[in-house]
Amino acid sequence: MSKPALSEAEGTARFASRGPGETRRLGGRLGRLLRPGDTVLLSGDLGAGKTVFVQGVARGMGFQGSVSSKSFVLMGEYQGREFKLYHADLYRLEAPEQAEELAMEEYCEDGALVAEWPERAPHVFAPDSLRVRFEVTGERTRGLILEAGGERGRYLVERLIADAPPVRNRRR
């Protein structure tokens, strides 16, 4: 994982992942920082690494079981050490109004919410959510762009940057 930089003007940071393990580890670091009420929105193409990232978030929160894509089940629930992780996948929504029926804001009262495909129903999420955009940059490599929406999101981005491990050069 490359050492990211925070854009002060925009509250964004870009991480470069060299593979699923690094993507999962970044998710784990975020999972250790999350608190009840936090919302993280994941956007990117199919196969870009969103579910791998959620696996890391769950592990960072202390969940030891399996986390899989929720493409056929809209909401998954995982018990962490201190509170729950709710994992929503809105890919299969046929209309944005269906997201309102899920009442996702209620889930944030006792846990953190991570939602994939939030662009399918953008009106149901608070503006202070942390947004993570996944870009496929190679067969295994990804760019992850974190955008802070509000003070809490900015705190999370700043902590992830501050706690980033040093960049290691790999010999091939």
DSSP summary character for residue 120 = G
| Domain edges within the chain | 6-162
CATH superfamily, with its number, for domain 6-162: P-loop containing nucleotide triphosphate hydrolases (3.40.50.300)
Q: What is the pLDDT of residue 32?
A: 97
Cα–Cα distance, 40 to 22 (Å, whole number): 18
CB 129 within 8 A of CB 146: no
Residue with tokens 């940059």: 137
SS3 content of the chain, % helix, strand, coil (to 5): 30, 25, 45
Which pLDDT score, from 0 to 100, does residue 132 have?
A: 97
pLDDT along the chain (172 residues), means of 10: 53 92 96 95 93 96 85 80 92 74 73 92 85 95 94 92 67 43
Q: Return the half-sphere exposure (C-beta side, CA atoms, 13 A cut-off) of residue 125.
A: 26
